[in-house]
Structure 1
């Protein structure tokens, strides 16, 4: 039998040093669960460090980070970013302290599954790959709004990976080669939203390498539960549109006219709602089905408002360097 010699680049032996960066603002309620998820990662513990960056929290975040780091079987490094109030500035603080050749990003309210890092790092065995986006799934939700967002797969990377300008991955589940950051710079520290698209597009625009999707590298994230939270989320998406338009000349989203809103609402009341009520009586539709259109119009309106009212601050154009 002819045995092939084991290539040093085969996935089984491909274990680069990884630095996981997590920005945290008032995350004391999320931290115990997050740290449990990090503890259960199957990626070798001696090949990964966790840089948890407190961004001026007013709760016990920093204290919890320091205590967790003391008696922990994984390498947790508590850091602080106190100069700039921005998750991107906090991520930059983490990147600067990182020793890994792969920098991975997630958020405090995310719940990475045990195989997350294994699946996220594997595609880097190909030298041409410089960015990998993992998938973001919803944590089981009970409220109407959570179920609606779950149905729409609001958080899924499939939306951002299909962006008409260039694909990008959201920082809730993203990995970037350090050399790419050395070439194009870090996040824009004064940007408040849209920084994930911006950094991916800058890297892809330099033709350093390509982006890949790792569907089995899964983090779970909680959907918004109140209309106020939902409105805030979609207004932020709108602001992001405006900022990326100014930074990268991407197309703005077209606003729906009041007439179009009226038409969609009328069609829902007169056509969709009676149809769905009949289905619900027959056990073939739920409240989420019945209210799908008005919730969709509510989020579209919030996004339009965010895009219309946003103005890119001058200092948001600054790119920090490694």
Structure 2
């Protein structure tokens, strides 16, 4: 069993995830850290093995990481992941069932002192309910806390080399192609360190909106509806209301400011979806007119 961690621009966070892996009750057999910087820069001591990918992007980097190891099960994390001590052992146990192809556990986003960290703690975008109990298509798990049977990963030729959304796409293709199921451990075995800058959190949500539209378009021929986004004027009104609400909270405490920042992040998601929809190529699938982007 191997762990693969892509990293680019977050090398300062890497020590935390490596220390957490070293504290596992069941150590990984192989550890591939993929340095996705354009110029090779990362140097690590064994047992970590550094793979230099040259700036190909996070999902292509993960593919290269998998290619560098030969384990039957591959665990994916990122530099912000902080697995609790039993994560590896409890995850690996689920693969004793030959019908299981994908495993993950619940993930808790940590808080912090900054507005972005507090808002991310409120948002909790990595909790299982967002991926399993209320999925917008097939269930999936994020790559900050994801394990895949290598044979299944190889059967679908790995991750699609997109900027965002490759985790959902991989999980869906594995379930469709192999018939193996996704199994989740309904317990927090992973914590995640959020971004500490408000602008980065807004950009993250904007990117998620774009990838959400891309997934819908990519999977439209297989049953996923391409949803019509809200008109720009309605998005502008919604964004304005969210901005006004946040402005009013500036005189309140940090918890209130964080709570009222979350709708701004949601508005960025909606704008990302809107932008992706209006930039889609000619001849793309027509959207359903009776639905709205979430």
Q: TM-score range by the shorter chain?
A: 0.7 to 0.9
State the shift of 1:166 in Å.
0.5
Residue matched to 1:144:
115
2:151 pairs with 1:170: no
Residue matched to 1:126:
97
State the shift of 1:288 in Å.
3.0
Query: How many residues are treated as equivalent by the alignment?
Result: 271
State the shift of 1:291 in Å.
6.0
Residue matched to 1:33:
16
Query: Which of 216, 225, 246 is residue 251 of structure 1 equivalent to?
Result: 225
Q: How does 1:74-89 map to 2 (within 5 A)?
A: 75-82=47-54, 85-89=56-60
Give yes or no for contact 2:202–2:268 (8 Å, CA) kept in 1: yes
Residue matched to 1:14:
none
Residue matched to 2:4:
21
Cα–Cα, structure 1 residues 170 and 312, in superposed 2: closer, same or farther, change >3 Å?
farther
2:33 pairs with 1:52: yes
Following the alignment from structure 2 to structure 1, what is the Cα–Cα distance between the partners of residues 242 and 269? 22
SS at structure 1 position matched to 2:20:
helix
Q: How does 1:69-108 map to 2 (within 5 A)?
A: 69=46, 75-82=47-54, 85-108=56-79
Q: Which runs of 5+ in 1 are unaligned?
A: 1-17, 70-74, 281-285, 314-322
Give yes or no for contact 1:157–1:170 (8 Å, CA) kept in 2: no
TM (norm. structure 1) is 0.75
SS at structure 2 position matched to 1:154:
coil
Query: Which of 222, 227, 247 is residue 198 of structure 2 equivalent to?
Result: 227
Following the alignment from structure 2 to structure 1, what is the Cα–Cα distance between the partners of residues 112 and 227? 29
TM (norm. structure 2) is 0.81
Give yes or no for contact 1:26–1:59 (8 Å, CA) kept in 2: no
Cα deviations by residue, 1:18-57 (Å, 9 ceiling, x for unpaired): 11111111332122222211211111x4x62101111125
Cα–Cα, structure 1 residues 178 and 215, in superposed 2: closer, same or farther, change >3 Å?
same
Structure 1 range deviating more: 214-223 or 228-237: 214-223
State the shift of 1:230 in Å.
1.5
Query: Which of 266, 278, 297 is residue 263 of structure 2 equivalent to?
Result: 297
Structure 1 range deviating more: 136-145 or 261-270: 261-270
Residue matched to 1:159:
130
Following the alignment from structure 2 to structure 1, what is the Cα–Cα distance between the partners of residues 14 and 49? 14
Cα deviations by residue, 1:157-215 (Å, 9 ceiling, x for unpaired): 321223121000000000000111122211112x1111000000111112421001123
